[in-house]
Structure 1
Amino acid sequence: MDPLTAMMVVLVFVAVIVTMLIEGSSPAHLLNIPALVLIFVGTFGAGAAGLMKADLATALKGGKKAFTGKAPDGSDLVDVIVKMADRARREGLLALEDMAKEIDDPMLKEGIQMTVDGTDADEIAELLEMRIDAKKDADKVAVGFFEAMGGYAPTIGVVGAIMGLIHALGNLEDVAALGHMIASAFVATLWGVLIANAVWLPMSTKLKRLSGLEVKNMEMILEGVLAVQAGTSPRMVEQKLRSSLPDNGKKAKTDEAKAA
Structure 2
Amino acid sequence: MDIMTILSILFAFVCIVVGFVIEGGKPIALLQPTAALIVIGGTIGAIGISFPLTTLKKFPKVLSIAFRKKESDLKEHILYFKEISIKTRRDGLLSLESELTNDLDPFIKRGLQMVVDGIDPASVKNILNTKLEQLSARHEDYSEMFTSAGGYAPTMGIVGTITSLVIILSDLSDVAKMGEKIAVAFIATLYGLGTANLFWIPIANKLKEINKKEIAEKEMIIEAVLLIQEGVNPNTLVSKLVSYLTENEAEDLEENHRGIGL
Residue 246 of structure 2 corresponds to 246
SS at match of 1:104: coil
Distance (Å, rounded) in 2 between the aligned partners of 1:92 and 1:229: 10
Structure 1 residue 176, shift from structure 2 partner: 4.0
Structure 1 residue 241, shift from structure 2 partner: 0.8
**Identity rate, percent:** 34
- Shifted more, 184-193 versus 92-101: the winner is 92-101
Structure 1 residue 242, shift from structure 2 partner: 1.5
Residues 153-187 of structure 1: CA deviation (Å, up to 9, x unaligned): 11111111111111111121023432222111100
Distance (Å, rounded) in 2 between the aligned partners of 1:247 and 1:165: 56
Amino acid at match of 1:172: L
Distance (Å, rounded) in 2 between the aligned partners of 1:252 and 1:234: 19
Say yes or no: does 1:115 pair with 2:115: yes
Contact 1:59 1:141 (8 Å CA) reproduced? no
- Shifted more, 48-57 versus 190-199: the winner is 48-57
Superposition pairs of residues 153-168 of structure 1, within 5 angstroms: 153-168=153-168
Residue 219 of structure 2 corresponds to 219
Amino acid at match of 2:157: G
Residue 130 of structure 1 corresponds to 130
Distance (Å, rounded) in 2 between the aligned partners of 1:75 and 1:109: 18
Residue 149 of structure 1 corresponds to 149
Distance (Å, rounded) in 1 between the aligned partners of 2:51 and 2:69: 23
Residue 38 of structure 2 corresponds to 38
Q: For structure 2, which runs of at least 5 residues remain unmatched after alignment? A: none
SS at match of 1:98: helix
Distance (Å, rounded) in 2 between the aligned partners of 1:165 and 1:86: 73
Aligned residues: CA RMSD: 1.7
Distance (Å, rounded) in 1 between the aligned partners of 2:231 and 2:103: 20
Residue 68 of structure 2 corresponds to 68
Residues 62-114 of structure 1: CA deviation (Å, up to 9, x unaligned): 21211125253211111111101111111111112112226521110111111
Q: For structure 1, which runs of at least 5 residues remain unmatched after alignment? A: none
Contact 1:158 1:189 (8 Å CA) reproduced? yes
SS at match of 2:58: helix
Amino acid at match of 1:135: L
Structure 1 residue 7, shift from structure 2 partner: 1.5
> Cα–Cα, structure 1 residues 52 and 69, in superposed 2: closer, same or farther, change >3 Å?
farther
Contact 1:157 1:193 (8 Å CA) reproduced? yes
Superposition pairs of residues 1-260 of structure 1, within 5 angstroms: 1-101=1-101, 104-257=104-257
Contact 1:125 1:226 (8 Å CA) reproduced? yes
Distance (Å, rounded) in 2 between the aligned partners of 1:250 and 1:8: 29
Structure 1 runs (4+) deviating above 3 angstroms are 246-249
Structure 1 residue 61, shift from structure 2 partner: 2.1
Using the size of structure 1 for normalisation, the TM-score is 0.94
Using the size of structure 2 for normalisation, the TM-score is 0.93
Aligned residues: 259
Amino acid at match of 2:34: P
Distance (Å, rounded) in 2 between the aligned partners of 1:221 and 1:103: 16
Distance (Å, rounded) in 2 between the aligned partners of 1:71 and 1:125: 26
